[in-house]
Amino acid sequence: MCAGRSVARNVSDALAFIAEAAAQNAAYVQTPECTTLMEVDTDRLMAETKPEKDNESLAAFCATASMRKIWLHIGSMAVKVGERRLANRSYLIAPDGEIRARYDKIHMFDVDLGNGDVYSESVNYQAGSSAVVADLPWGKLGLTICYDLRFPALHRALAKAGAAFLAGPAAFTRVTGEAHWHTLLRARAIETGTFVLAAAQGGRHENGRETFGHSLIVAPWGEVLAEGGTEPGVVIAEIDPHRIDAARSKIPSLTHDRAFEIVEAHPLQLEAVVK
Q: How far apart are the C-alpha atoms of 1 and 254, rounded to whole Å?
A: 34
Residues forming beta bridges with residue 217, ordered by sequence position? 197, 226
Question: pLDDT tens-digit profile of 157-204?
Answer: 999 999 999 999 999 999 999 999 999 999 999 999 999 999 999 999
pLDDT at site 239: 97
| 52: annotated active-site residue | no
Report phi then psi at 75, rounded to 5. -50, -45
| 261: annotated active-site residue | no
pLDDT at site 275: 58
Q: Does domain 7-274 have CATH number 3.60.110.10?
A: yes
Question: pLDDT tens-digit profile of 87-110?
Answer: 999 999 999 999 999 999 999 998
Q: Is the pTM of this model over 0.85?
A: yes
Quick one: average pLDDT of 240-259?
Answer: 97
Q: Which of the four pLDDT bands, split at 50, 70 and 90, describes residue 266?
A: confident
Question: pLDDT tens-digit profile of 126-155?
Answer: 999 999 999 999 999 999 999 999 999 999
Average pLDDT, the chain: 95
| 33: annotated active-site residue | yes
pLDDT at site 270: 59
Catalytic residue among 33, 39, 62, 80: 33
pLDDT at site 274: 60
Domain boundaries defined on the chain: 7-274
Burial tier of 182 (Cβ tally within 10 Å: 0-12, 13-18, 19+): middle
